[in-house]
Amino acid sequence: MSLLVVGTVAFDAIETPFGKTDKIIGGAATYIGLSASQFQHNINLVSVVGDDFPTSAIEMLNQHRVNTEGLQIKKDEKTFFWSGRYHNDMNTRDTMDTQLNVLETFDPIVPATYQNCECLMLGNLMPSIQQKVLNQLQNRPKLIVLDTMNFWMDHYMEDLLQALKNVDVLTINDEEARQLSGEYSLVKAARKILSFGPKYLIIKKGEHGALLFNDKEVFFAPALPLEDVFDPTGAGDTFAGGFVGHLCSTKDYSFENMKRAVIIGSAMASFCVEKFGTERMNGLGKEEVNQRIAEFVDLVQFDIELV
Ligand code: AMP
């Protein structure tokens, strides 16, 4: 049983207080695939790049068991480009440039071999494209997770609200939750967003962890306190990849297992931020991953005797 991942495969230019990069490999689906591959060994990608995208990067994805049959390569067109700048507070960033390029005319095609997937991860992308992928599936996956961002809320809110009616889990950050709901309190925001369609909502709060909501319960996962965060780019997608990768491999979609998945997502994100771009995620070992998850268990475990 497979995990179907949809999202951007991109060139990123990033500036943080620790340095600057020019056109490195990025994209939501890239980070999701690399992260999910630690848990799920059958990952199918649907995305698009231009013929300026290096073959070596596609091979790198294949080496991480990400099948790229559904990755369209557009001749004489340019890959999606995003550029962002972080300041000392790495929780907020300025988008300097977003060039949609190949995304502008992207018509996703789900290959026949990708049908009957167990889980679907609709990574950050134009909401109408996320919906088009959903429409092509002959059977509804057991779990549909959607990630999005303020850019799509600013320009395509109606399409996003439409897509949200069909998903099980929505992952967004705190600012986006406020924008989507019009509520400042995250508890009120969660209640409102859950009324739009998703059964579960994850609100990511960067170095302050993540909250998981359903209509009755709430769970909090911290972020690992790190001495230095070099580059937060892709942390949200890496989180989502770990989350959905764990659920898809265990096939247990209960709230209890989602709590574990949130911890696993947080552990994966803590690796991503340790180096620029995908550098840390590329070739990450399973032992390191297990050790990091154990650190999270220690971080939140305590005994208490109520008097
Ligand atoms: P994250 O830091 O997890 O929000 O994700 C960063 C990644 O998202 C980068 O690698 C970008 O290429 C990609 N990205 C940036 N803007 C967009 C957008 N509007 N739609 C889809 N992906 C984007």
Give 22's contacts (C-beta < 8 A, 6+ positions apart).
13
The mean predicted confidence, pLDDT, of the chain is: 96
With a 6 Å cutoff on the Cβ, whether 278 touches ligand 1 is no
Q: Ligand 1 mean position to 234 CA, how many Å? A: 7
Using a pLDDT cut of 90, give the percent of the chain over it.
93
Closest-CA residue, ligand 1 atom 6, reads 234
Which ligand 1 atom lies nearest to the CA of residue 12?
Answer: 12
Which ligand 1 atom lies nearest to the CA of residue 151?
Answer: 19
> What pLDDT shows up at residue 283?
84
Q: Is the pLDDT of residue 278 over 90?
A: yes
Q: Is the pLDDT of residue 91 over 80?
A: no
> What pLDDT shows up at residue 130?
97
Q: Ligand 1 mean position to 146 CA, how many Å? A: 14
160-212 pLDDT, tens digit each: 999 999 999 999 999 999 999 999 999 999 999 999 999 999 999 988 999 99
With a 6 Å cutoff on the Cβ, whether 27 touches ligand 1 is yes
* 30-42: average pLDDT: 97
Which ligand 1 atom lies nearest to the CA of residue 277?
Answer: 10
Burial class (CB in 10 A: 0-12, 13-18, 19+), 300: exposed
pTM of the model as a whole: 0.96
Phi, psi of 305 (to 5 degrees): -110, 120
Tell which one of 90, 233, 271, 278 to mutate to probe ligand 1, the residue whose CB is within 8 A of the most ligand atoms.
233
pLDDT band at 111 (very low <50, low <70, confident <90, very high): very high
Residue whose token pair is 């005994």: 303
Q: Ligand 1 mean position to 33 CA, how many Å? A: 14
Q: Ligand 1 mean position to 272 CA, how many Å? A: 14
Q: Ligand 1 mean position to 29 CA, how many Å? A: 9
pLDDT band at 90 (very low <50, low <70, confident <90, very high): confident
Give 275's contacts (C-beta < 8 A, 6+ positions apart).
230, 231
Q: Ligand 1 mean position to 112 CA, how many Å? A: 28
> What pLDDT shows up at residue 275?
95
Which ligand 1 atom lies nearest to the CA of residue 80?
Answer: 12
Q: Are 10 and 81 in contact (CB under 8 A)?
A: yes
pLDDT band at 287 (very low <50, low <70, confident <90, very high): very high
Closest-CA residue, ligand 1 atom 5, reads 234
Q: Is the pLDDT of residue 57 over 90?
A: yes
With a 6 Å cutoff on the Cβ, whether 82 touches ligand 1 is yes
Q: Ligand 1 mean position to 42 CA, how many Å? A: 23
pLDDT band at 307 (very low <50, low <70, confident <90, very high): confident
Q: State the Cα–Cα distance between residues 171 and 46, nearest whole angstrom.
A: 19
> What pLDDT shows up at residue 51?
97
With a 6 Å cutoff on the Cβ, whether 26 touches ligand 1 is yes
Classify 158 as helix, strand or coil: helix
Q: State the Cα–Cα distance between residues 127 and 152, nearest whole angstrom.
A: 7
Q: Ligand 1 mean position to 70 CA, how many Å? A: 20
> What pLDDT shows up at residue 118?
97
Q: Ligand 1 mean position to 108 CA, how many Å? A: 18
